[in-house]
Amino acid sequence: MPEKEVHENGPVFDPTPLEAILEKSRGAKGALIPILQQTQDAYGYLPRPAVARIAKFLKVPESKVYGVATFYAQFHLHPRGRNIVRVCLGTACHVRGGEAILGAVADELKVSPGETTPDLRFTLERVACLGACGLSPAMMVNDTTYGRLTKKRVAEVLKKYQ
Amino acid sequence: MKLTLRDFSQKGDLAAPAQASRAVAPRDSRPTIVVGLGTCGIAAGGQEVYDAVVAELKKRGLDADLVSVGCIGMCEQEVLVDVVLKGAPRVTYARVTPDMVARIIDDHVVGGKPVQEWIAGTIADEFAPYRDVAFYQKQKRIVLRNCGIIDPGRIEEYLDRDGYRGLAKVLSAMKPAEVIDEVKKSGLRGRGGAGFSTGQKWEFAAKAAGDKKFIICNADEGDPGAFMDRSVLEGDPHAVIEGMAIGAYAIGADEGYIYCRAEYPLAIKRLNMAIAQATERGLLGRDILGRGFNFELHVKEGAGAFVCGEETALMASIEGERGMPRSRPPFPANRGLWGRPTNINNVETWANVPQIVLNGSSWYAAIGTEKSKGTKVFALTGRIKNTGLAEVPMGITLREIIYDVGGGIKDDKEFKAVQIGGPSGGCIPAKLMDTPVDYESLAATGAIMGSGGLVVVDETTCMVDFNKFFLNFTQSESCGKCTPCREGTKRMYEIVTRITEGQGTMEDLEKLEELAQMVKETSLCGLGQTAPNPVLTTLRYFRDEYIAHIVDKRCPAHVCKALIKFRIDPDKCKACLICKRSCPQQAISGDKKVVHLIDQAKCTQCGTCEQVCPFGAVIRE
């Protein structure tokens, strides 16, 4: 594997953060998922060269790493936005208009759920439940939860994120 | 500094029941100001309120003890701010915004006069808060006793309220078998949904052969509409940790995991903080309280898969595999995590344990019904007035929960049903509202106790569409390992979708019922075995709504888009042009002073006109 390689749609892959993560995980039991989580935190997604490197490090086939990465909703194989908007469509939000909020966010960002804005500012996702049911309809931007949303409030919240 | 047994025995006889003071008082000579900063509080703007308190105190040069707490349960009223002055009850202000903070500080903290019109309730007895608020009058708080009261970031506050006293008691005076016996006698059953006897489960793991055993807390609270576990982890993480330590002692485990879903970042943060504090105090780690008992605890973050709430899938996930369940036996008690004997309980179950140990099994068994002991925490949501978290004694009726605790239906609409137990549960119709909340009575209705999600729906919810919602959830969360669940949930979703689009036939209903029964009986794990419950209960209690969709091509609740029309009531229309301008399809005609009209050929039933009309002139039919 070359030192640095260009991934489709992605920036140049810099292995330094990954190597640090792997070094920390040496010898840990059940390390694959935590490694994937930290890798995604570092790169924003799981770059192809990282998947290959992790497989080699753990001495498992690449297909296994891929299998785990695609099983869990949290992992992404393509670059994502700097800010992740998760609109809740859990039961309580469903009953109190979560779909309309999703529509409002989609209109505001001009992307569909699952997509990323071309400037990589936002990725829009649907989520089954944030557990903020008491304040439905709700959404989460990165690690912050927003409740009692209206179309107007959606626009205000999104403005805060660059 | 590490604690010793003496630190606990000095505070009173360890064999005696709970010792903690119940009186409300400021923590020191300064006034105490408390801001609710659970996920709900933050979502409602709690951080801004907290910052405003800091700024206003600074402006006045005032010194106060500023505390942040977890969820007390009144989600509807967030942001909550409490003021505690010496000799007065704790006063709670509701729906506080940053601009209200200055007056609360001036009038109340400085002037000693509470701002009457903003008060939501008062707490005189910390273990029975808000006797003056209807929402709390029928509650009994055991699991939630500290939530919203103590600062979850300070272990001292948990210790002051009998924290880790249960652990001290078992380590000083009880044999592991005695602990198991006590939990068995208490009648505690698994709060994750299935309701298996906790003591029995522990006994299996204790008796299993093996020198290395594990204990796990299932905090993968994936049911949409449920947030009980999140609130406990955020508001009182030490109660779960203490419960696990007691369980580990009882079954002979020296290592444990808390598997928490990644969607709960605050809960994970508070857990890690609590574990570090407990370790520092010698309440976790090696030679706990000098009694030779070792217990190490880790937090594992989930990665977004509902099926990982199933115990064998959860263990696979901790091991770093795809979270897929396997067939049982062997049960985890014999072959669990990394092939070792393992005991798994959920958050709420663990949080009950310290109180049972401390107060005795007969105290706990006196609460509830013959077969369902203790309390259950419910997340009340949907079309209900008081949404929030409520802990009620088992045996209370659904009616009492919805009307007395929940305050009844929002906007005084007609109550239709309550969905209990999430996607694994069922819809119980209004006519069965006198059903008592216990495992057996709820199962008899076709629903289950479940983990505690309780979603109230009114006349504006279409039960067929609601069922479609759950099926969409389960079919996308099915792990795909066994055929009945993988294919069955998908086919059921397709049939129900067809019905909501007006394309269903009466034959579909028979097929749906047959398929549901088959998936229920033959799926590998709990996900598939319970996924048909929403189908079966809606067919049982709301068959007429299905028939209306199929035969009359009508959606009685006016929800299913293919079966409704939007129309403008000419008597109410003020010809203001707002709907016309908002319509994305340009389907609305009319002009100033000319009553508007919707062109049904162009209309896509998006509902925008209905939302924007200031006069309620747009009607669904």
Task: Examine the pLDDT at B416 and tell me if it is beyond 60.
Answer: yes
Q: Which two tokens stand for residue B390?
A: 């409520």
- Which chain B residue is nearest to residue A150, measuring alpha carbons? B611
Tell me which residue in A36, A92, A146 faces B381 most closely, judged by beta carbons. Answer: A92
| Interchain contact B79–A (C-beta under 8 A) | no
- Which value does ipTM take for this structure? 0.85
Alpha carbons within 13 angstroms on the beta-carbon side of residue B339 total 0
Place of tokens 């006793």: B145
Cβ-Cβ pairs closer than 8 A, A with B, add up to 144
Cβ–Cβ below 8 Å for B222 and A95? no
pLDDT at residue B304, rounded to an integer: 86
Confidence of residue A149 (pLDDT cuts 50, 70, 90): very high
Tens digits of residue pLDDT in A66-81? 999 999 988 999 888 9
Confidence of residue B117 (pLDDT cuts 50, 70, 90): very high
Average pLDDT over residues B383-391: 92
Average pLDDT over residues B498-511: 97
pLDDT at residue A2, rounded to an integer: 39
Confidence of residue A3 (pLDDT cuts 50, 70, 90): very low
CA distance B356 to B353: 5
Smallest CA–CA distance, residue B374 to chain A, in Å, is 24
Contact residues, chain A, for B262 at CB < 8 Å: 37, 74
Confidence of residue A12 (pLDDT cuts 50, 70, 90): confident
Q: Which two tokens stand for residue B204?
A: 């299996």
pLDDT at residue A96, rounded to an integer: 81
| Interchain contact B97–A (C-beta under 8 A) | no
pLDDT at residue B22, rounded to an integer: 66
| Interchain contact B450–A (C-beta under 8 A) | no
Query: Which residue stretches of chain A are H helix?
Result: 16-25, 32-43, 48-58, 62-71, 91-95, 98-109, 151-159
Contact residues, chain B, for A141 at CB < 8 Å: none
Cβ–Cβ below 8 Å for B222 and A131? no
Average pLDDT over residues B541-554: 97
**Who contacts B521 (Cβ-Cβ below 8 Å, separation ≥6)?**
B529
Cβ–Cβ below 8 Å for B303 and A37? yes
Confidence of residue B21 (pLDDT cuts 50, 70, 90): low
Cβ–Cβ below 8 Å for A131 and B461? no
pLDDT at residue B417, rounded to an integer: 96
Contact residues, chain B, for A132 at CB < 8 Å: 39-40, 43, 227
Average pLDDT over residues B557-576: 93
Angular region, A17: left φ>0, alpha ψ -120 to 50, beta rest: alpha
Contact residues, chain B, for A92 at CB < 8 Å: 224-225, 381-382, 387, 455
Tens digits of residue pLDDT in B242-262? 999 999 999 999 999 999 998
Cβ–Cβ below 8 Å for B42 and A144? yes
The domain at A83-159 falls in which architecture? 3-Layer(aba) Sandwich (3.40)
Task: Examine the pLDDT at B277 and tell me if it is beyond 50.
Answer: yes
Average pLDDT over residues B302-315: 93
pLDDT at residue A101, rounded to an integer: 92
Task: Examine the pLDDT at A6 and tell me if it is beyond 50.
Answer: no
CA distance B480 to B323: 11
Give the mutation candidate from A91, A144, A146, A156 for the B interface (greatest B CB count, under 10 A): A91
Question: How many Å from the N-terminal Cα to the C-terminal Cα in chain B?
Answer: 69
Q: Report the DSSP pairing between strands A83-88 and A122-127.
A: parallel
Confidence of residue A10 (pLDDT cuts 50, 70, 90): low
Q: Report the DSSP pairing between strands B214-219 and B255-260.
A: parallel
Cβ–Cβ below 8 Å for B455 and A95? yes
Average pLDDT over residues A42-63: 95
Tens digits of residue pLDDT in A132-141? 887 889 999 9
Among residues of chain B, what percentage have pLDDT more than 70? 100
| Interchain contact A61–B (C-beta under 8 A) | no
**Buried/exposed code over B271-306 (b: 16+ C-beta within 10 A; e: otherwise):** beebbebbbebbbbbeebbeeebebebebbbbbbbb
The domains found in chain B, sorted by start residue, are 32-124 (3.40.30.10), 157-364 (3.40.50.11540), 375-458 (3.10.20.600), 463-550 (1.20.1440.230), 565-620 (3.30.70.20)
Angular region, B210: left φ>0, alpha ψ -120 to 50, beta rest: left
CA distance B580 to B577: 5
- Which chain B residue is nearest to residue A153, measuring alpha carbons? B44
Tens digits of residue pLDDT in B205-239? 999 999 999 999 999 998 888 889 999 999 999 99
Tell me which residue in A86, A90, A131 faces B264 most closely, judged by beta carbons. Answer: A131
Cβ–Cβ below 8 Å for B44 and A92? no
Cβ–Cβ below 8 Å for B383 and A31? no
pLDDT at residue A61, rounded to an integer: 96
Q: Report the DSSP pairing between strands A139-141 and A5-6.
A: unpaired
Mean pLDDT of the residues in chain A: 88
Task: Examine the pLDDT at A114 and tell me if it is beyond 60.
Answer: yes
Among residues of chain B, what percentage have pLDDT more than 90? 85
Task: Examine the pLDDT at A5 and tell me if it is beyond 60.
Answer: no
Q: Which two tokens stand for residue B456?
A: 């109230």
- For the ranges A3-7, A102-106, B181-185, B536-540, the lowest mean pLDDT is seen at A3-7
Q: Sign (positive/negative) of CA torsion B268, B271, B277, B281?
A: negative
CA distance B128 to B140: 8
| Interchain contact B538–A (C-beta under 8 A) | no
Confidence of residue B439 (pLDDT cuts 50, 70, 90): very high
- For the ranges A54-58, A96-100, A123-127, B194-198, the lowest mean pLDDT is seen at A96-100
Mean pLDDT of the residues in chain B: 94
| Interchain contact A109–B (C-beta under 8 A) | no
Smallest CA–CA distance, residue A10 to chain B, in Å, is 23
Tens digits of residue pLDDT in A18-39? 999 999 999 888 899 999 999 9
| Interchain contact A60–B (C-beta under 8 A) | no
Give the mutation candidate from B39, B608, B611 for the A interface (greatest A CB count, under 10 A): B39
